[in-house]
Copies of this chain bind each other. A is one copy, B any other.
Amino acid sequence: MADTRRIAVLAHEKFPGRAKTALGVMRYSDDETVAVIDRDLAGDRVADHTDTVPDAPIVGSFNEVPGDVDALLIGVAPIGGGFDESWRPDVVAALEAGVDVVAGLHYFLSEDEQFSKLAAEYGGELHDVRKPHPGIGVADGRSADIDAEVVLTVGTDCSVGKMTTTCELVDAAQEAGIDAGFVPTGQTGIMIAGWGNPVDRVVSDFTAGAVEEMLLERGDEHDVLFVEGQGSIVHPAYSAVTCGILHGSMADKLVLCHEAGKAAIHGYEETELPPIPEYVDLYESLAEPVHETAVVAGAINTSHIADDDVARTTVEEYGHELGGPASDPIRFGVGELVEELVGEHK
């Protein structure tokens, strides 16, 4: 969705299964992936391991990347957001070649003495997409003033496909001739979009404000804005971010995202997921005093279900539970959801 760049994607020892950021960027951004860097798979090709993203060679280090690239992108996000020192030679090699480095870690590359020195010396830029810009502040409650209709993805838990669903909806809406924009809120979304505020990394008082700022910036450029949600309103740790995005976006419509068969919050097994209709009530009643909204459609990840018919039944049952059309965006597409959500903008 941003300008096309030629990028190398670092995913040492994690590609593809544990390199969510790499896969997201390769699948949805306008960047052209010249190579994936993973020392465990050097010599293979991306297509040997996954067919969900465009093919590319896999190499063992930045120096083996074929041809010129504009940026090295850190495509893995370890728990805690730390920088793995085994990546340093690749980052150094990229900077010494004058290449930009893009990262979404809690560890800011721009605050690393060696990296910042090399960037200054050779002219490459360090983009820490998780570093909020200093102008983000308290929300004014003005997101509803924008021209665009706002559709927000919300979830039953983290990692149930909110970003994927949002990107699929944007792409499908654009293909259907709708003037749709993408509003990212997390590091992978920001890398895909090439802009955006890391809402989970701002001062807690500014959570809604970080979303509002983006909507005010882009709200008059598109007919529809699809906002990437975060976490879940029942998540013991991350619900604050979810609530801030819900109120800060003043969304007109919600898409509830879920993973088939999930029974408890990942990593917080004592927190059982409430029934789907309860999620619908919770999101709608919480939003209502600030801006009335409704769960209009659902997305469900059925990748753990092998049988297509079973998956289809699961999707139908999910739609029935939430009271609207549903789909597995990757397996069955989002055509019907786009029609229901924003069909009037064609």
A residues 167-226 with Cβ under 8 Å of B?
199-209
In-complex Cβ contact of A282 among B201, B206, B274, B286 (8 A): B286
Q: How far is the CA of A83 from the CA of B186 in the complex (A)?
A: 32
Instruction: Using A139-B236, A244-B239, A247-B236 as known contacts, say yes or no to A203 and B203 having CB atoms under 8 A apart.
Output: yes
Is A108 located at the chain interface by the 8 A CB criterion?
Answer: no
B199 with A204: CB separation less than 8 A: yes
Residues of B within 8 A of A205 (CB): 200-201, 237-238, 240-241
Is A63 located at the chain interface by the 8 A CB criterion?
Answer: no
Q: How far is the CA of A219 from the CA of B226 in the complex (A)?
A: 42
Residues of B within 8 A of A238 (CB): 138, 205, 208
Q: Chain A contact residues (Cβ within 8 angstroms of B): what range?
A: 35 or more
A290 with B234: CB separation less than 8 A: yes
Residues of B within 8 A of A323 (CB): none
Residues of B within 8 A of A126 (CB): none
* Nearest Cβ on chain B to A248's Cβ, whole angstroms: 8
Residues of B within 8 A of A241 (CB): 204-205, 207, 240
Is A289 located at the chain interface by the 8 A CB criterion?
Answer: yes
Give a binary string over A223-251; 1 marks a CB under 8 Å from any B CB, 0 the rest. 00000000001111111111110011010
Copies of this protein in the assembly total 2
Is A141 located at the chain interface by the 8 A CB criterion?
Answer: yes
A271 with B244: CB separation less than 8 A: no
Q: How far is the CA of A204 from the CA of B241 in the complex (A)?
A: 6
Residues of B within 8 A of A271 (CB): 141, 289-290
B237 with A138: CB separation less than 8 A: yes
Residues of B within 8 A of A286 (CB): 233, 282, 286
Q: Can you spell out 13 A-B residue pairs with CB atoms less than 8 angstroms apart?
A: A140-B237, A141-B236, A141-B237, A200-B203, A203-B204, A204-B207, A207-B241, A236-B250, A240-B244, A243-B244, A271-B289, A273-B289, A282-B285
Kindly list the 8 A-B residue pairs having the minimum CB-CB distance in the complex, ordered from nearest. A240-B244, A141-B236, A207-B240, A243-B243, A234-B289, A139-B237, A240-B240, A200-B205
